[in-house]
Amino acid sequence: MTARFNLTETQCARLLEGVIEAGRQVMAIYEREFDVSIKADDSPVTEADMAAHHALVALLNDTCPGVPILSEEDADIAFETRRAWARYFLIDPLDGTKEFISKNGEFTLNVALIEDGEPVFGIVHAPVLETSWWGSTEGGAFKRVGRGDTTPIRVRELPSPESGTPWQIVASRRHGGDVLEALCQRLPAHERVSMGSSIKLCLVAEGLADLYPRFAPTSEWDTAAAHAVVRAAGGDVLEAKTRSPLAYNQKAELLNPWFIVFGQRDARWLEAVPLALD
C-alpha cells in the first residue's frame, strides 16, 4: 500500500477548469461536420476524441507532472509496465462517442486518479449539459451547472415500501439484455430510465437514481471517474458475480466485469442479482 497522494485544492480546481475547457474544444467540433473513423475493435472514433485526449494529457502533465497517464486513445501500455504504477490517471477523453455522433448530448469527458486499484478522485463533465460532477474519497462529491454554484451531492436513501415511491433504475441506452430484464423482474416497484455514457453513474451519485446494473462490456476508463464520484457521494460499484468492489489495473485486459452501481446496499437487490445471473 502506497502513501496517499493528495491533490491540493489548487490542483483540483485547475483540473476541473481544464476539463471544462477541453469540453469547449469538443463542443466546437460537435457543432460542425466531423469525420468518423472505425478503430480496430470496431468502435467509432472522431477528431473530438483525439482533441480531448491531447488536451487532457497536456492538462495532467502540467498539473501533476510525473504521474503516469492511461487513456482510451493511448492504451497500448504493457501490463508489465502498468502493474508497477502505485497511482496513475485514467482518462476517457470522450465517453459516449456514439452519443456524440448521434448528437443526443449524452457524452462526457472523464478524468480519474487511481491509487492501489481504487478510484480516489474523479471528474465527469458533460459539455452539452454544461454540467460537471467531481469528488474524492476525502473531500466528498459535488456538482456544478454552467458557472452556477457548486452543490454538494449525496446518494439517496432507498424509498421505503410504505412510501409508495418507486426505485429509480438507470440503464444503458444501447445495452439491455435478458439479464437486466431478469433482475428488474425481481426488484421492488421501480421506474427505468435509459441514458448514455458515464452520466448514469453520476445520477446515482446525486441521488436521482438508486441502481445502475451493467450486464454488457465496458472498459476501465468508461467507469473510473464516475466511480470515484459515486464513492465520494456515499455509494459504490460492485462486480455483479463476486459482489466485490470493482478494481482497476489488476489484470492485463482492461475490460470490466459486469457490475452494479448503487447508492445503498439492500438485501432486495443483493439477493436478486445472483438469481438474475443464473
Q: What is the 3-state secondary structure (H, E, C) of 136-191?
A: ECCCEEEEEECCCCCEEECCCCCCCHHHCCCEEEEEECCCCCHHHHHHHHCCCCEE
Q: Which pLDDT band, with edges at 50, 70 and 90, does 40 fall under?
A: confident
Cα–Cα distance measured from residue 35 to residue 162, given in angstroms and rounded to the nearest whole number: 53
Cα–Cα distance measured from residue 121 to residue 88, given in angstroms and rounded to the nearest whole number: 11
Cα–Cα distance measured from residue 7 to residue 20, given in angstroms and rounded to the nearest whole number: 18
Q: Is the pLDDT of residue 156 over 80?
A: yes
Q: Are 150 and 142 in contact (CB under 8 A)?
A: yes
Q: Is the pLDDT of residue 15 over 90?
A: yes
Integer CA distances (angstroms), 71 to 28, 93, 157, 239, in order: 22, 7, 34, 22
Binding residues for substrate: 72, 94-97, 222
Which amino acid, one-letter code, is at 199? I
Binding residues for Mg(2+): 72, 92, 94-95, 222
Q: Average per-residue pLDDT in the chain?
A: 95
Predicted structure pTM score: 0.96
Binding residues: 72, 92, 94-97, 222
CATH class of the domain at 9-152: alpha beta
Q: What residue spans in the chain does CATH classification 3.40.190.80 cover?
A: 161-277
pLDDT tens-digit map of 67-124:
999 999 999 999 999 999 999 999 999 999 999 999 999 999 999 999 999 999 999 9
2 DSSP 8-state letter: P
Residues whose CB is less than 8 angstroms from the CB of residue 161 and which lie 6 or more positions away in sequence, other chains included: 188
Order of all β-strands in the sheet with 236-239: 190-195, 167-172, 211-214, 259-262, 236-239
Identify the pLDDT of residue 174. 73
The four Cα atoms 262, 266, 269, 271 give a dihedral, to 10 degrees, of: 130
Q: Is the pLDDT of residue 1 over 60?
A: no
| CATH number of 161-277, picked from 2.50.20.10, 3.60.150.10, 1.20.1340.10, 3.40.190.80 | 3.40.190.80
Q: Is the pLDDT of residue 19 over 70?
A: yes
pLDDT tens-digit map of 178-237:
999 999 999 999 999 999 899 999 999 999 999 999 999 999 999 999 999 999 999 999
Cα–Cα distance measured from residue 63 to residue 49, given in angstroms and rounded to the nearest whole number: 21
Q: What residue spans in the chain does CATH classification 3.30.540.10 cover?
A: 9-152
Cα–Cα distance measured from residue 207 to residue 65, given in angstroms and rounded to the nearest whole number: 35
Integer CA distances (angstroms), 217 to 83, 157, 258, in order: 22, 29, 7
